Every structure is written in C-alpha cells, then in structure tokens.
A and B are shown apart, each in its own frame.
Chain A
C-alpha cells in the first residue's frame, strides 16, 4: 500500500496542469457534495449504509463524471457503458450520483425507504439509471461477466464496471465468475473492490481474511492495480489505464476509508449502518461544508 501511495502522489503531481487542476477541483467538490447528500437522505430516512456509501463515493464520482459513457439519454442504448453495483447496500451513494447526473429529480430521494417508494435500501431497476437489482452479495460480478461477454459476442465497444465490497468477497459466486471472466478474456470488464477493511462483524481480515487479494485475482487470470480509492485524481488515472492488460479482465483494488469525510465516522464500525443524531448530523455537514477548505477530503 505504501508503494501505491507513492505512485498515487507522483501521478497527482504530474496531473497538476491547468486542465487537470480544474478537473481535480471539480471532482473534489462533487465528492463533498455527494457526501453531504448521502448524509442528508440517510438522516431523513433514518436508515442507510452510511460508512460504505462514504467509502465508495469517490469511486462513483469518478466513474459517472469521468469514465462511464452513459447518461439519461443513452441509458437505453445497447452501446452504453454498464455499471452494476454488487455492494447494493451502499445504494445511497449510487442514488445521489444518479440524481446529480439527471436520471431522476433529487427530490425523489425524499422518499428514500418510505412506504411504496422505489428508492429502497438496495438498487432496483424501477429507479432510472439502475442496471440490475442487487442487494444479495456476490451477484454483481457474474451478471457483469455475462453483460461483458454479450458485448464481445456482438462486437460492441461498451465496458462493464462492477463495484464489490471487500466483505462480500468470500461469496463463492464471485470466484466462479472470476474464473469465467478470465477464461473468456473479458478485458471490457472492470471490477472495483471497495477495500474499506470493515464489515458488520468487524475488520474484514478478522472475519474471513481475503489477503493477499491481488495475488488471488492474479492467479485467477486478472490484471490487478491498487489505488487510493478516496483520491479522485488517482482513481481517474487508473480508470484511464483500462484495460490494465489486453485480454484480461481488470480489477482495481481501491483502498478506502469506511466513513470517509466525516471525522468521527472514519474507520468506526458502528457507522456501517449507523444513522446520525441531529447533533452528529450538524457536525458532519459542517465538516463537509463547501466553505470548509479541507472538510475531510
């Protein structure tokens, strides 16, 4: 990880040209805005997966603003890039980004987890912009492999991205799909592991150790890159390098901080699906204020 951070820093510095500075600034502001919205709607709904949504939001930010060829207008086109969120419980992160990209009015999120709302605690296709209904873990990668294989069969150029939690990696279906994706040389497939190191029971390494994760994926025939998953510049750089190796599926091991951006939530297990009190909410929103120069980003 230290080596990865050095690489990230180098990349960061190399990107500080005028244009990239603007992009970086824009993405950083977006991440902060998304974090505020995640907390806003979780606070209103009194439910949600706070810690994981905050850990993965920078990944979704870069994906939807810099990487994916998808928009409300192109969503039904056969050639659009697909994003399937395997860690469906962090749906709040997806919803705030989809709202920002115009898939539905942000005001819809006022109904999050309310009676008869489509905006429930996991992604469903009843919400515009959601590719697949997820929530049970270990489903994103097999479905994504199927979509990626269809692209190869039809000679289409779209790519498929799936976001997995580190806690869901013991699901055997992931490794079934990992084998098949490599077998069919699906280099149009990118899995991103949101490696925040915590799951509901405790540290992931104590619940069921999946390390060395890079070697596992490599041995399954994948091309692997590590990245600081909360650094938008580093994320963009790594996404821009896809596919990491021609003829191999790519996996991005994104080292993230659970609860990232709110000081008292970071790396704290209780925020897995903790809902802030009024006082905690106010402090969190203050830390994430656009007026705060370094609000935890």
Chain B
C-alpha cells in the first residue's frame, strides 16, 4: 500500500496527504517498535486501520477524548516513545489546546500532533468540523513547529524528519488527493525551509497544504493568458518561517499574495505580513484565506471556490494586486 502511494506520478492524481502520512508511518514502524500511534476513535479517518492490524502493539486507542489523547501522548513520549497523536485537526487543536500548550510544548514532550481532515476538508459537516484556527493558536505557543505539507513528497519527507526529531510538532493534513508538485525539479525538503515550486519575477504566491496546487494552476493560467510570471512557494513550515526565502521573494517579485485554507486572521498570511513589514519590505501584499465570517456551507471544493481559493480565484486576486502597481 505504502509504495503504491509514494510512487504516485508527478502531476498526476496522487494520494491524499493524510493517506501518505499513514503509509509512511507504517513503513517507519516496521523497523522501529518505539513508534506509537495514539488515536481518538480516528483510525478510520486517519487511514490507520492497516497500521493497527499490522502493529497492534503500537497503536493506542483512547476513545473520543482528545484531552486525554494529548495528555497520554505526552506521557508516552516522556517515557521514550515516538508518539504520533492523530485526530481531526478541528478537535485536536481546540478541544486539547491546553494539553498541547502545557503537556507537549511547555513540558517539551516530543509528541507529533497530527491534525487530519484539516481546514474545510469536512465540507458540509460544518464549522464544528472545520479547523480554520489551528495555525493562529499554535503559532502563539512557544516550542511548536507547524508543518503543512502540500503533496506526497513533502508529506513523506516531513513524517520521516519529525519521526527522527526529539521536538514537538504539529503536522496538518487534508484528505483530498493531491498531485505531486514538481515543476522546478526541486527535490529537497527541509522543515523550516520553503519549497519553490515555480519561478517567476512578477509576483510571489506563497501557499501551503492543499492550496499550493491551485496556486500553481493559477500561476500557469496567468502565464498563458496574461503573460504574468509567478513564483509559487510551498511554505510548508509556518513556524519557524523561512525568513531568508521571504526576503528573497520580496526582493525578486513585485508583489506577494499568500494563500491558505485557514482564517485570514493569524495564519500564514499574517505571519508573512508581520515579518515583511518589520523588515521594511513594503510591497503590494494580500492575504487570501477564509474571511472572518460564518463560513459558507457546501463541500470543500465549493467552500474554497466561494472564497476564491481556486485556480481562477487566485489568478484574479493576483491581477487585482498587480493592478495596484500601475
């Protein structure tokens, strides 16, 4: 299962990032009995049923109890286990926020928090099941690295790297199949270093997670239809932010647009804006995300389309931004 997913064709229809996560973890568990998954009745959504069948001694079920999920994960990690605490991002980062803050980050227990079905992945299930706050709340917690991979390559790399690290992390995954993003042939992945997917000097589109692919589509559309060349960055690590790359983008491009499946408040966009302004990079800048309102109802695609987090919506926002230069 794992290999099939990991070898999804470049640019083709790949696997969902959270499925790649579970496949990668299964491969790691084969040689490391200290890998432990803790779930809150979430092994089905997390595609961890095969993991549980293959490594029953390495999966801990706590039932629907997210506070206990994170508290126990912290205890397991303090005793030497390499713990992946897996739960829908909406519950994990809200219901168990105090446990994340105190038991994981403050106590420095190296739990890997895995938020699945993130953003508006759950679509019509509504706001209770959406996580549009997780970047904001976790950015404000010291000792928490936030990683949002865009495709199967980034996901595999991220999971391998956090498994080998003795720090706390939050990894956020969606459940939509994502194609491999490899336009520049960039084959390295390092947590804390943004990945340039496409290069162009007119505008920089900084996205993460499942929004990187529509950002790339928009860049291609802008090039073909408008002669606008866009750099597209997968800023998979929101914290710590890749300040060096941000600086380069600000110098190379005329304008910057950020895109995220998160509230416009407190996420990737505001993280970039804050750094750019503090460092005197005064460029035309805009944040595309979910506005501060009761989110429109519908499927994930319908919600994202509604707010312009789509090929045409991102392209349109870029043109509006560049128009401010003339």
Contacts and interface: CB of A to CB of B under 8 A. Distances in A.
A139 B71 CA distance: 7
B79 to A, nearest CB: 3
A173 B74 contact: no
Interface stretch (A39-47, A100-108, A130-138, A195-203): A130-138
B5 interface: no
Interface in A135-160: 135-136, 138-139, 141-151, 153-154
Interface string A103-142: 0000000000000000000000100000111111011011
Contacts of A172: 67
B13 interface: no
Contacts of A139: 71, 98-99, 102-103
A149 B74 CA distance: 11
Contacts of A144: 75
A161 B291 CA distance: 47
B222 interface: no
B77 to A, nearest CB: 8
Contacts, number: 98
A185 B77 CA distance: 19
B147 interface: no
B107 interface: yes
A150 B80 contact: yes
Contacts of B36: 153
**Chain B contact residues: helix, strand, loop or mixed:** helix
A146 B75 contact: yes
Given A146-B73, A173-B99, A131 B78 contact: yes
Contact of A135 (B81, B102, B108): B102
Interface string B86-110: 0000000000001100110011110
A123 B290 CA distance: 40
Given A78-B80, A133-B102, A149-B76, A125 B108 contact: yes
Interface in B114-153: none
28 contacts: A78-B80, A132-B78, A133-B106, A134-B102, A135-B102, A136-B98, A139-B71, A139-B103, A142-B67, A142-B68, A142-B74, A142-B99, A143-B72, A143-B74, A145-B68, A145-B71, A145-B75, A146-B72, A146-B73, A146-B77, A147-B75, A150-B75, A176-B62, A176-B68, A177-B71, A179-B63, A180-B63, A183-B63
Interface of B: 36, 57, 60, 62-63, 65, 67-68, 70-81, 98-99, 102-103, 106-109
Interface of A: 78, 125, 131-136, 138-139, 141-151, 153-154, 172-173, 176-177, 179-180, 183-184
